[in-house]
Amino acid sequence: MKINRPCELCGAPAEHKHHKFSNSKVNRKLYSRKIINMPFNIIYVCSVCHLNRPIPTYNEIEFIEAGEKAGFRLRHLAGKSLQFKTF
C-alpha cells in the first residue's frame, strides 16, 4: 500500500500508518475498527522514524478526549477500569 503523505515527524515520504491508540483486538472490539482507524488516531511515519524515534501515542483517556474533539461519543464505551474522575 503506497502512502502518499509526508512523515509527520521528519517530512520524508511516509511508509507506515501508525495508530496512536493501539489497534489491538480488544480495542477494536470495544471502540470498533472504524473509530480506531479514524484520522485523529493515525500518524504517518517513514521507516527511519518508525524504528528510531518515539512515536506519539494515546492512553485510553487521551484517545477518548481526541475522539470526542473529533465528534465521537466514546466515554460510554470505555473500559470499566477507567476512572472518569481524571477527566
The residue ranges of DSSP E strands in the chain, in sequence order, are 16-19, 42-45
Q: Provide, rounded to the nearest whole percent, the portion of the chain with pLDDT above 90.
A: 74
* Cell digits of residue 61: 483517556
Q: Is 18 helix (H, G, I), strand (E, B) or coil?
A: strand
Q: Is 83 helix (H, G, I), strand (E, B) or coil?
A: coil
Write out pLDDT tens, residues 2-27: 789 999 999 999 999 999 999 999 99
pLDDT at residue number 3: 84
Q: How far apart are CA 67 and CA 60, in angstroms?
A: 10
What pTM was estimated for this model as a whole?
A: 0.81
Q: Where are the domains of the chain?
A: 16-86
